[in-house]
Amino acid sequence: MTKIIFKELTSKQNVLFPVSLSEKIAANHPVRIVNQVVDDLNIDFLLSKYKGDGTSSYHPRMMLKVLFYSYLCNIYSCRKIEKALQENIILYALFLNYINTLFFST
């Protein structure tokens, strides 16, 4: 009988993901197009509508990226978008600059 060899199991490692998650996303993935398009948008009108009172807000660019990519993936429900942000590594990687996860009512 042949000896079975398994890859090393490192479930208790300190870093679960590579240092840069964007390395794992293909260069031609649609999420990169959404990212570039939203970064190129002039959102001065949206920014002028923020009052600045209360707790800090998520940046409008990040919210637009979430909505555009979710709609591209046929995800329209706020709760499903929230779930996708928690489970979809590509969506999560794109918005990693915003460490706090979004809640469906955001």
Q: What is the pLDDT of residues 41-81, one digit of tens each?
A: 999 998 888 777 777 777 888 888 889 999 999 999 999 98
Q: State mean pLDDT over 79-100.
A: 71
Residue 77: which domain range?
A: 26-42+57-106
C-alpha of 31 from chain center? 9
- pLDDT bracket for residue 100 (50, 70, 90): very low
Between 19 and 36, name the one with better pLDDT. Answer: 36
What is the reported pLDDT for 77?
Answer: 95
21 found inside a domain: no
13 is a domain residue = no
Residue 68, domain member (yes or no): yes
Our count of domains for the chain comes to 1
Q: Is 80 part of a structural domain of the chain?
A: yes
Percent of the chain scored above 90 by pLDDT? 16
